[in-house]
């Protein structure tokens, strides 16, 4: 549902194309996985995201930093603006990041 909601969210300003999961090898040669990846329609930005569905509240600041680090470890994000997004069952909203809640997703998909 997180990936399906991306084109309808308006997160970060640009219009987003379809989102998908991404697995591959980072520029450091190690395996890398991202739950949600989408390219802006104009090709100048990439959205990278992670979905966390647990009872424990997530720490959004640290998770956002991990997402940016992962994106910077790819060749396809080079030279583009990186927009990190967290889909969280519960947790806070970082001042400089984007968080989507279950209600946000359901609103987008209606």
Q: Where are the domains of the chain?
A: 2-109
Number of neighbouring beta carbons within 10 Å of residue 72: 13
Tokens of 37: 């990846």
Q: What is the pTM of this model?
A: 0.83
pLDDT at 2: 87
pLDDT at 37: 96
Query: Which residues touch 13 (CB under 8 Å, ≥6 apart)?
Result: 45
* CATH architecture entry for 2-109: 3-Layer(aba) Sandwich (3.40)
Local mean pLDDT, 10-residue blocks, the chain (110 residues): 87 90 96 95 94 68 87 94 87 66 76
pLDDT at 11: 85
pLDDT at 8: 87
Query: Which residues touch 43 (CB under 8 Å, ≥6 apart)?
Result: 80
Number of neighbouring beta carbons within 10 Å of residue 24: 12
pLDDT at 1: 86
pLDDT at 56: 57
């Amino acid at each position: 549902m997180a990936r399906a909601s991306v084109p309808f969210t308006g997160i970060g300003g640009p219009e987003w194309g379809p989102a998908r999961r991404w697995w591959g090898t980072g520029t450091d040669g190690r395996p890398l996985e991202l739950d949600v990846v989408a390219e802006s329609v104009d090709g100048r930005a990439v959205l990278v995201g992670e979905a966390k569905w647990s009872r424990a509240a997530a720490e959004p600041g640290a998770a956002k930093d991990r997402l940016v680090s992962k994106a910077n470890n790819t060749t396809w994000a080079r030279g583009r603006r990186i927009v990190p997004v967290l889909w969280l069952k519960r947790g806070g909203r970082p001042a400089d990041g984007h968080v989507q809640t279950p209600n946000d997703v359901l609103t987008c998909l209606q």
